[in-house]
């Protein structure tokens, strides 16, 4: 099956950072607070008059994403509240240019991404709680949406893609997607088109022009590709909210994020991990620390994440393998113990055997990617079986998932 170049490049990026930021961030109660608390539009709009963006620095954000090992970023240019972080050029006065910030934050974001070698993507809502036409004149609203996306496609140079969200709010409506997606293809032929199908419909292809299905807060499964090849992406919060939640202490551990990233790649999917900046754009310290910790792991094992592809290599427990470039395989080993004195090591200790099926090429050498240690193994290429003596972590280390690289003879 032919894989379009933009989709192939998207899959190779493997890991991205999602950024949810808007007027709601000033309230510190998540991105749905306007809807959740039924705040009247007139009252909610007062947040525009206090939006200074004084703490937002696109370079700091892009550098953090780069240090985390991400290759792309997706920023909310407009969320469901209807407020735009970009200059809508007269389309609406409910945008950043009519706030105390007074500057095009999307232009800054794009410039910073390019400077740091990241590919900029744009999130854009299709659901709008602010525009009256969304409820009372849907055709007029779709014209407004079309013109909004057209600005994003024509004013910021080449972008990685458009990430839409909200069609699930009116599942029976005619969203005129042929018109919208056709316009994107004209202006941005290399851009990915992604439309989030939501929590209840993960993994569904919603239109023939969609380039990647979404798995919001849910582990992806390896897709059976029929017709056009379509990528997969899981989007996940660091805690329990997309937008900044001042009282949300339920952060995921670095270990959980690392495991999730690996299991996404097992299914051939990207991971899009979210950060919710605070009211005026500063990055929460916990989010920064978590991103940096993942980045340290990626410094050791990122090659396998970026280049590995599903190849039917199955292991026991969560273990699995991916095919690499230039005659190599990557073996992902979970739940290893630490080699050390029994009085201080916690839980499982030392080495274990890790058995894999589906490896029919003869392997000549296997070594850990983190320290280069060569590992002993037994193989029956005819049966596709390989058993690896997976040594435990050295005392002082616990990488959560350890990856060995095998060289094909």
Length of the chain: 409
Residue 50: give its domain's CATH number.
3.20.20.80
Where a domain ends, among 307, 336, 355?
307
Q: Distances from the Cα of 179 to the Cαs of 65, 142, 152, 186, in angstroms?
A: 33, 10, 16, 11
Asked if 318 and 291 sit in the same domain, the reply is no
Asked if 293 and 313 sit in the same domain, the reply is no
Residue of 108, 129, 109, 139 lying closest to 37 (CA atoms)? 129
Asked if 26 and 127 sit in the same domain, the reply is yes
Asked if 197 and 234 sit in the same domain, the reply is yes
Please state whether the predicted TM-score (pTM) of the whole model is above 0.85.
yes
The count of domains in the chain is 2
pLDDT by residue (tens digit) across 149-176?
Answer: 999 999 999 999 999 999 999 999 999 9
Asked if 271 and 321 sit in the same domain, the reply is no
Asked if 301 and 401 sit in the same domain, the reply is no
Cα 144 from Cα 128, distance rounded (Å): 11
Q: What are phi and psi of 302, to 5 degrees?
A: -60, -30
Asked if 280 and 321 sit in the same domain, the reply is no
Asked if 284 and 315 sit in the same domain, the reply is no
Asked if 351 and 336 sit in the same domain, the reply is yes
Q: What tokens appear for 248 in the block?
A: 């949300």
Domain hosting residue 329, numbered range: 309-408
| CB-CB contact of 336 with 392 (8 Å) | yes
pLDDT by residue (tens digit) across 318-351?
Answer: 999 999 988 899 999 999 999 877 777 776 667 9
Residue 326: give its domain's CATH number.
2.60.40
Asked if 124 and 213 sit in the same domain, the reply is yes
Q: Distances from the Cα of 6 to the Cαs of 3, 177, 229, 291, in angstroms?
A: 8, 20, 11, 26
Cα 206 from Cα 182, distance rounded (Å): 15
Asked if 316 and 392 sit in the same domain, the reply is yes
pLDDT by residue (tens digit) across 347-398?
Answer: 666 799 999 999 999 999 999 999 999 999 999 999 999 999 999 999 999 9
Residue of 142, 124, 28, 38 lying closest to 83 (CA atoms)? 124
Which residues does residue 164 pair with via DSSP β-bridges, in sequence order?
124, 195
| CB-CB contact of 166 with 127 (8 Å) | yes
In the prediction, which pLDDT does 317 show? Answer: 86
């Amino acid at each position: 099956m032919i894989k379009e170049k933009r989709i192939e490049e998207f899959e190779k990026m493997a890991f991205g950072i999602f950024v949810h930021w808007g007027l709601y961030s000033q309230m510190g109660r998540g991105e749905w607070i306007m809807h959740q608390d039924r705040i009247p539009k007139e009252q909610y709009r007062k947040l525009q008059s206090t939006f200074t963006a004084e703490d937002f620095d696109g370079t700091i954000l892009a550098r953090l994403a780069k240090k985390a090992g991400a290759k792309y970023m997706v920023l909310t240019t407009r969320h469901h509240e209807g407020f735009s972080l970009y200059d809508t050029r007269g389309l609406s006065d409910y945008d950043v240019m009519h706030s105390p910030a007074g500057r095009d934050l999307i232009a800054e974001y794009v410039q910073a991404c390019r400077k740091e070698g990241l590919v900029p993507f744009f999130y854009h809502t299709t659901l709008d709680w602010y525009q009256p036409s969304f409820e009372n004149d849907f055709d007029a609203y779709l014209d407004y949406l079309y013109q909004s996306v057209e600005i994003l496609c024509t004013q910021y140079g080449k972008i990685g893609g458009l990430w839409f969200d909200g069609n699930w709010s009116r599942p029976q409506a005619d969203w005129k997607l042929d018109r919208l997606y056709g316009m994107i293809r004209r202006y941005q032929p290399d851009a990915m088109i992604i439309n989030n199908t939501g929590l209840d419909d993960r993994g569904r292809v919603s239109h023939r022009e969609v380039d990647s299905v979404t798995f919001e807060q849910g582990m992806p499964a390896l897709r059976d590709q029929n017709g056009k090849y379509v990528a997969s992406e899981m989007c996940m919060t660091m805690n329990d909210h997309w937008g900044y939640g001042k009282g949300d202490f339920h952060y995921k551990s670095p270990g959980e994020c690392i495991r999730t990233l690996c299991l996404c790649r097992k299914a051939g999917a990207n991971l899009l991990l979210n950060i919710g900046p605070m009211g005026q754009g500063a990055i929460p310290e916990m989010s920064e620390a978590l991103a940096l910790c993942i980045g340290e792991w990626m410094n050791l094992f990122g090659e396998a994440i970026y280049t590995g592809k599903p190849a039917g290599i199955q292991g026991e427990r969560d273990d699995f393998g991916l095919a690499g470039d230039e005659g190599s395989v990557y073996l992902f080993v979970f739940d290893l113990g630490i080699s050390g004195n029994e009085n201080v090591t916690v839980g499982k200790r030392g080495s274990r055997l890790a058995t894999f099926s589906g490896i029919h090429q003869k392997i000549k050498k296997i070594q850990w990617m983190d320290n280069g240690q060569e590992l002993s193994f037994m193989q029956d290429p005819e049966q596709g079986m390989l058993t690896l003596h997976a040594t435990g972590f050295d005392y002082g280390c616990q990488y959560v998932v350890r990856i060995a690289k095998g060289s094909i003879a």
